[in-house]
Amino acid sequence: MENAVDTRTDGPENRQYLGLRDGISARISAGDLKPGDKLPSERQLQSEFGLARGTIREALFLLEAEGAIFRRDRSGWYVSPPPVVYDPTRWEGFMSYVEAQGRVPATHTIRTETLPADPLLSEVFSRPLGAPLHHIRRLRSVDGRAVLVEKLIVDAAITPDLLDFDLNTSLTAILKRKFGITVARNQISMQPCALTGNEAVDLKQKSGLPGLALQRVSYDGHGRVVEYDHEYWRHDAVQINVDLRVR
């Protein structure tokens, strides 16, 4: 059997976009370009470095995949801000932990509806097939940049008029203040993912860029599932820190 041929090359174009990537990365590391600063336009970079438009874009897309820069629609490329530090094991709302880090959080509710439980959700919530469940889709932002899209499912039996409240505020606070619900236990799973479909559209990201998928099942003190969440984060927007205490 013949050996496979490696078709990759280290030609001039490859070295050019890697050189541009390294140059921009060095300017960010040196502080010449600070978080939130706008990069020169693609046309300016073409003029400055004498490179083809495709080569410029290869370098920018690579920096984006590495989390160093991000794109704003019809505005250009910007240096990525520091990530939000997030401990998913704590029952603390997004608004609270983002504000505690000196950042400005915001929430936009995309869609709400009450739907009958399918077989999967019936099992998750230990509710009969067809039992009503509230579905909430929200976009969360930090300092004006969308960083997270989430789908939350809440048991309508214990939160009957939940969708009448302003869900652009803290859902954690609403559950506690209006329904007397506090969470005693969270079951969490996380894995890397590619942001595609509605998640990429909502986050205004190029489809296929890396992200972090987080699934959380929240239980109250009686062992009831009160909330079932799916979160999709921009990969450059979050740093996971977990504080574990040894008993």
Q: Does 247 fall in a domain?
A: no
End-to-end CA distance of the chain: 58
The pLDDT of residue 5 is 36
The pLDDT of residue 211 is 94
Q: Does 4 fall in a domain?
A: no
- Overall average pLDDT of the 212-226 stretch: 93
Mean residue pLDDT across the chain: 88
Q: Residue 229's domain spans which residues?
A: 84-240
Residues 135 and 231 in one domain: yes
Residues 227 and 119 in one domain: yes
Residues 126 and 202 in one domain: yes
- Overall average pLDDT of the 190-214 stretch: 92
- Overall average pLDDT of the 101-118 stretch: 96
Q: CATH no. for residue 199?
A: 3.40.1410.10
Tell me the pTM.
0.82
| Tokens 């019936």 belong to residue | 122
The pLDDT of residue 9 is 44
Query: Residue 55: which of 6, 9, 21, 10 has the closest Cα?
Result: 21
Q: Does 7 fall in a domain?
A: no
Judged against a pLDDT cut of 50, whether residue 3 lies above it is answered with no
Residues 41 and 124 in one domain: no
Q: Does 218 fall in a domain?
A: yes
pLDDT, tens digit (0-9, with 9 covering 90-100), for 56-98: 989 998 998 888 998 887 789 999 999 999 887 777 788 889 9
Judged against a pLDDT cut of 50, whether residue 156 lies above it is answered with yes
List residues bridging with 38 in a β-sheet.
Answer: 78
Judged against a pLDDT cut of 70, whether residue 144 lies above it is answered with yes
Beta strands in 44-144 (DSSP E): 69-72, 76-79, 84-86, 105-116, 132-142
Of 38, 55, 79, the position where a domain reaches its end is: 79
Instruction: Give the C-alpha separation, 73 to 130, whole Å.
Output: 41
The domain tally of the chain equals 2
Residues 35 and 109 in one domain: no
